[in-house]
Amino acid sequence: FDNTAFHRYECGGLKPRHRRNSEDDDSNLRDKLSKRKSAALMKVVSPPMEITDETKSNLGKVHYHLAYLHGQDRFPEIVCPDRIDDDESPSHDIFSVVFHLSHAASLANSQACLALARARVGLQSSASPLLHTNVPIDFDSAKDLCRRAMASERAPASPKAAAGCLLYQILEDEETTGDVEKLHVLEETLNFLNLAELEQAAAKEHVKNMSSRGKAD
């Protein structure tokens, strides 16, 4: 047989594979590797997203709806499967509800602020039937949450009106607030009620127009 076919010298020694004859070969190899690495990298990098009020509002909505879905047992896989049939175990993860509501309230989401404010005074909330039993009572915190909900610049107006009613009731029960402040809260609440009626009328008109357009098509 021919020794050269097996990459051997005629004396029997192995020939080194990929022999480099000069330093130029090394530089060419480095150039090829650098070109491959540069080709694998992204040529265009998107600029960071600008955080606007609209971005914060949308993020607050996402957190609130996640809290609501947790409270309505839409994520049963999070609850320990060994205790689902236990009557004393919760049907959903209440800690996730509080987590998402807190983040939504920090982003001035009026619905989340209202839900936490009701829980702070021991009232039930539509977000979760377990919320008021797991959140400690704190009337000062409830008043702050109501004011934050009323100060929100985003729609809808109905949770703002509900927050105003709750705030007025707390101030009335405490009997430490002057009539001027309570009257101011009452006026804001009435304005929110009127605005909520206008929003409901506009929503009904939109649904009516969409249904008539669908029939025409």
Q: Tell me the per-residue pLDDT of 67-104, one tens digit each, with 9 for 90 and over.
A: 999 998 888 776 655 554 555 667 788 999 999 999 99
Residue in 192, 142, 150 with CA at minimum distance from that of residue 171: 142
Q: Residue 1 — pLDDT band, cuts 50, 70, 90?
A: very low
pTM for this prediction: 0.72
Residue in 141, 93, 91 with CA at minimum distance from that of residue 116: 141
C-alpha–C-alpha distance, residues 39 and 187, integer Å = 65
Asked if residue 109 has pLDDT above 90, the reply is yes
Residue with the bigger pLDDT between 62 and 49: it is 62
pLDDT of res. 149:
95
C-alpha–C-alpha distance, residues 116 and 101, integer Å = 7
How many Å separate Cα 102 from the centre of its chain? Answer: 10
The two three-digit tokens of residue 178, written as one number = 């002057």
Q: Which residue is it, tokens 């606007």?
A: 52
| 57 residue type, one letter | S
At residue 123's C-alpha, the angle toward residues 188 and 190, to 5°, is 15
Asked if residue 191 has pLDDT above 90, the reply is yes
In contact, 109 and 60? CB cutoff 8 Å:
yes
Helix spans in 18-109 (H): 23-40, 53-71, 94-106
Q: What residues are paired with 8 via a beta bridge?
A: 14
CA atoms within 13 A on the CB side of 8: 9
